[in-house]
Amino acid sequence: MKAQSRAAASADESAESSRGLGTAPIIFAPVKAHSLTDITIVGGGPTGLFGAFYAGMRGATARIVDALPALGGQLMALYPEKYIYDVAGFPKVLAKDLVRDMSAQALQFGCDIRLGETVTGLSRVEDPEGGIGHFILETSDGDYPTKTVLIAAGIGAFEPRKLPLAAAETWEGKGLYDKVLEPKLFGGRKVLIVGGGDSALDWTLNLMGIAQSITLVHRRDQFRGHAATVKQVMEHAERGACEVRVFTEVGEIHGKESIEAVTLVNTRTKETVRLPMEIVIPQLGFHSDLGAIREWGLDTDKADIKVTSEMQTNVPGIYAAGDITSYPGKLKLIATGVSEACIAVNNAVHYINPKTKVNPGHSSNLAIFGESET
C-alpha cells in the first residue's frame, strides 16, 4: 500500500458526504469528484450487500465497487437459477431472487454502487493531526476516498475456466457459453455440458425440460459433485432424459455462423464421435485472482485474508468478511458472510468514531426504521 503525503493532496471538501460519521480532520487527495465515504466495500456479493445495508443502518455512508456488471457475486455470476436452502428465513430461494431482495435491502440507504470497476490499488493518506486519515481506493475508473475499507471480494475477481481448445474463443456467443445466465436461451436446443463438478451436474438437471437434448461429458468416470446430485443425473440418464459420457472430452467444435456439431474424444481409447450439437456449456470451475489486493500488505492464509474476531485485518481501517476471510473454524457460506459483514461494519463505525458503540442494538428498536429507541 502506498502512503500519500500532504503535499500530494488537494482539497475537495465539497465532495465530502453530508451523512458521514464524522471524525478527525481529513486531508483530501486529488479525486475525480468522488465523495469521501465512511466504508468502501470491495465486492457486491451477498457479504458486500449486507455490509452496505448494515452501514446504512449504522448511519455510515457506503460505496460498493465490483468488477462484475451486476450485483450478487457468485450467486449471479455462477448459479442465478439454483435454489439455496440454507439462508435463514427462506425454506428455499433462487439465488437471483435472494440477490434481488438483498440488493433492495442494501440500497435503501442510498449506497453508491460502482459496477464493472476492478480495484487496482489502495493508498493511505495520513492525518498530520493524528486522526485516522483515510484511504484512496483506486479502480479501473476512478479514485475513491474512504475512511475504511471492507474487503468482501469473495474468491477474488473471477473468470470461468475456458474450454481447453485452441479455437474455443471463436465460438463464444455463437453457441459456447461458460455461464448460464438465461436458461431460456437454450430452449429446444441440443446442449452439451462439459465438466464433472456440481455446476455441470446441476445444469444437466436444470436444463432438462428446457433443452431439446442434453449430453454431459466428463473426462473421468468420477464426478466431483454431491453424491445425491450424481445419483439424480444417473437416474435421468438411465431413463433416457439425458446422456452421460464419461472418459470423454471435446476434441473439436464445428459450424459456420454458429455451432452445428462437436467431435467428442474418448480419453482412454482416443476413439472419436461426431454429434450434432447447438450449444456447448463448459462448467470447468473458475480461476480467481485477488489481484491488486495482494499488494496491500495484508496477512493472508493462501488466497484468504486473515482476520480477527472483529473482522479486522492486520492493517488498521481495513476489514474483511465473507468467503475471502480466514480464521479458525471459518465456513464459506452466505450465512457466515452476512454475519461477518455485520461484525466488520460495526467495528468500522467504531473505528471511525470511537464514541459510536460497536454494538448496534436491535434493528427492531432503531429510530432509522421509524421505531422509538429505548
- Least distance to ligand FAD from the beta carbon of 228, Å? 13
Shortest reach from residue 220's CB to ligand FAD, in Å: 19
Give the residue with the Cβ less far from ligand FAD, 155 or 244: 155
Partnered with residue 120 across adjacent β-strands are none
Q: Give contact residues for ligand FAD (rule: CB under 6 A).
A: 42-48, 65-68, 73-75, 78-79, 84, 86, 118-119, 152-157, 198-199, 291, 293, 322-323, 332-335, 337
Min CB(49)–ligand FAD separation in Å: 7
Please tell me what DSSP assigns to residue 337: H
Q: Pick the closer one to ligand FAD by CB: 28 or 319.
A: 319
With vertex at residue 199, the alpha carbon angle to CA 225 and CA 214, rounded to the nearest 5 degrees, is 105
Which candidate, 111, 122, 95, places its Cα nearest to that of 345? 111
> Considering the complex, what minimum distance in angstroms separates the CB of residue 3 from ligand FAD?
21
In angstroms, what is the minimal distance from the CB of 286 to ligand FAD? 8
Nearer to ligand FAD by C-beta: 28 or 225?
Answer: 225
- 251 contacts 258 by C-beta, under 8 angstroms: no
CA atoms of 348 and 152, how far apart (whole Å): 14
Q: How far is the CB of 10 from ligand FAD (least distance, A)?
A: 26
Residue nearest to ligand FAD (CB): 154
CA distances from 339 to 62, 107, 108, 148, 253 (A): 17, 18, 19, 18, 46
Q: What b/e sequence results for 195-230 when a residue is b if at least 16 CB atoms lie within 10 Å of its CB, and e otherwise?
A: bbbbbbbbbbbbbeeebebbbbbbbeeebebeeebb
| Residue with Cβ nearer ligand FAD (83 or 247) | 83
Which residue, 12 or 310, has its beta carbon nearer to ligand FAD?
310
CB nearer to ligand FAD: pick between 94 and 366: 94
C-alpha cell at 125: 493518506
